[in-house]
Amino acid sequence: MKPFKLVINGSLVETSEYFDVLNPADKSVVARCPKATEADLNNAVAAANTAFESWSALDISERRELLLKLADVVEDKAEEFKTLLTKEQGKPLQGFANLGAGFEFEGTLNWIRTTANFDIKPKIIEDNDTVRIELHRKPLGVVGSITPWNYPLLISIWHIIPALLAGNTVVMKPSEMTPLTMLRFGEVAQEILPPGVLNIVTGAGELGALISSHEDIQKIVFTGSTPTGKAIMKSASGNLKRLTLELGGNDAGIVLDDVNVDDIAEKIFASAFINNGQTCAALKRLYVHESVYDEMCNALTKIATSMKNGNGMDKDTDLGPLQNEQQLNIVKELAEDAKQRGATFLCGGEVVDEKGYFYPPTLVSNIEDGAKLVDIEQFGPILPIIKFHDVEDAIASANRLGVGLGGSVWSQDLIKAQRVASRMQCGTVWINSHAAVLPIAPFGGVKDSGFGVEFGEEGLNEYTSVHTIHIYK
């Protein structure tokens, strides 16, 4: 089996140590991944610093053209990327509602092309007989990107493309659980991008710590857990790095009493079980009005029991395995706590396939706030369904936790839904949908779910500094 290599300064670099990357569907070795040393990281940062001068000097239209060419080259290798995604992450090639590897890959292409077409233009603040004041935006320098294992390709693109378009260079570290897709992407990118513009180093948490404290990196963009985000924030203080932190969430959905359950049940299921529940903005706590509670439980159970849980390479698989054993154990622990509290398991709840990290789609009713499954982000295929009588109680429950990434309101009365949505303490609220992130709409968290935004022109601006010019006539 041919090992992968680091991508540094336009070259593929071997290392002295490698580690195995496992297929979560059967625990077999997908490939060997290079383990970068501190010296490798320093070489990558030095290459990015050197490349920054010429890359930032290009007109934005020239950088845009190269990024659009990159999307075309990646698209030509679609089957290779989708297969590698499935093997290292576990998600099906197609999957339930077509939300598998194909969905991630097509999203990647869409994000590259949409983001690359954004623009950064000077803003005129004042222009009169005496003075003209212009606001310009300048790139920061080297951006460090640290990404998670749930969307190895797509989330990396969320970090990389706006950074590069704005004129920065990048050193990125994908999760050690799923590093292969991005190493391959880095190989492909060297066909288009100048040496040093995009560098990819792989390793475990200690490598991420070195990145977040590196004196020659000017910004960190991180997607992952809240504790890790707080550690990065501390490490980044050494040279006052800019930060964009998209951290853990525990998104609440509120179903009001006027819904048509048949119209929304499949949307709610897809919102909760997208990527097997391993999605930061997935619906993770479902609050349902008592008048439609039983009907909603029955409709979701019917969908859940129709799902096929299996190897993502099988065409008829709806939901694959969890990505790793640690995450499987978290789901099992939360389920066990719910059982001890007397909650009702409408389906699932027991591991039936131990070949990989499988857990069946699971729905839990007769459960309340305070249960671990409600209060702790499960990041897996298990959904607590909580009954409420008064919408004020549902809003209070949705807001009671320390996180605030996303939330949703489900209702046929859009005015009433908007009133509820406006009171939810989270960065994004969807009405009659959930987890529908778009490259044109800013997305980010509040409270312990982080700060800064991604996507849209607001997200692009996060990779720049403000440069104000006063011209006295």
pLDDT tens readout for residues 399-440: 999 999 999 999 999 999 999 999 999 999 999 999 999 999
189 lies in the same domain as 265: no
Let me know if residue 443 belongs to a domain. no
Task: Provide the number of structural domains found in the chain.
Answer: 2
Which residues 6+ apart lie within 8 Å of 428 measured at CB? 281, 405, 406, 407, 437, 441, 443, 444
pTM above 0.95, yes or no: yes
Let me know if residue 1 belongs to a domain. no
Let me know if residue 444 belongs to a domain. no
User: What's the CA gap between 404 and 324, in Å, rounded?
Assistant: 25
CB atoms within 10 A of CB 406: 31
Whether 160 has a pLDDT exceeding 90, the answer reads yes
Amino acid at 124: I
214 lies in the same domain as 328: no
Work out whether strand 283-289 and strand 382-388 pair parallel, antiparallel, or are unpaired: parallel
29 lies in the same domain as 99: yes
Among candidate residues 33, 88, 280, 462, the one labeled active-site is: 280
Q: What burial class does residue 407 get, using C-beta atoms within 10 Å of its C-beta: 0-12 exposed, 13-18 middle, 19+ buried?
A: buried
272 lies in the same domain as 380: yes
191 lies in the same domain as 269: no
Active-site residue, 17 included: no
Let me know if residue 392 belongs to a domain. yes
What is the predicted pLDDT for the residue at 270?
98
Phi first, then psi: give them for residue 459, nearest 5 degrees: -65, -40
User: What's the CA gap between 154 and 152, in Å, rounded?
Assistant: 6
Whether 2 has a pLDDT exceeding 90, the answer reads no
Buried b (16+ CB within 10 A) or exposed e, 233-262: bebbeeeebbbbbbbbbbbbbbbbeebebe
Average pLDDT, integer, range 347-354: 93
Whether 191 has a pLDDT exceeding 80, the answer reads yes
190 lies in the same domain as 298: no
At CB < 8 A and 24+ separation, what contacts does 59-68 make?
Answer: 60/119, 60/120, 60/165, 60/167, 63/164, 63/165, 63/167, 64/116, 64/117, 64/165, 66/192, 66/193, 67/112, 67/115, 67/116, 67/161, 67/164, 67/165, 68/112, 68/113, 68/116
Let me know if residue 277 belongs to a domain. yes
221 lies in the same domain as 288: no
pLDDT tens readout for residues 283-319: 999 999 999 999 999 999 999 999 999 999 999 999 9
257 lies in the same domain as 227: no
50 lies in the same domain as 190: yes
Work out whether strand 131-139 and strand 123-127 pair parallel, antiparallel, or are unpaired: antiparallel
Q: Number of helices (H) and strands (E) in the chain: give both, helices first.
A: 15, 22
pLDDT tens readout for residues 205-230: 999 999 999 999 999 999 999 999 99
pLDDT tens readout for residues 224-235: 999 999 999 999
User: CB of 238 within 8 A of CB of 220?
Assistant: no
pLDDT band (50, 70, 90) for residue 352: confident
CATH number at residue 396: 3.40.309.10
Let me know if residue 240 belongs to a domain. yes
User: CB of 17 within 8 A of CB of 25?
Assistant: no
User: What's the CA gap between 239 and 245, in Å, rounded?
Assistant: 17
User: What's the CA gap between 184 and 84, in Å, rounded?
Assistant: 9
Q: What is the CA radius of gyration of the chain?
A: 23
234 lies in the same domain as 287: no
Among candidate residues 33, 88, 104, 246, the one labeled active-site is: 246
Let me know if residue 38 belongs to a domain. yes
125 lies in the same domain as 207: yes
347 lies in the same domain as 297: yes
Find, among 58, 241, 239, the residue nearest to 166 by Cα: 58
Active-site residue, 33 included: no
CATH number at residue 192: 3.40.605.10
Q: Domain range spanning residue 178?
A: 6-247+449-472
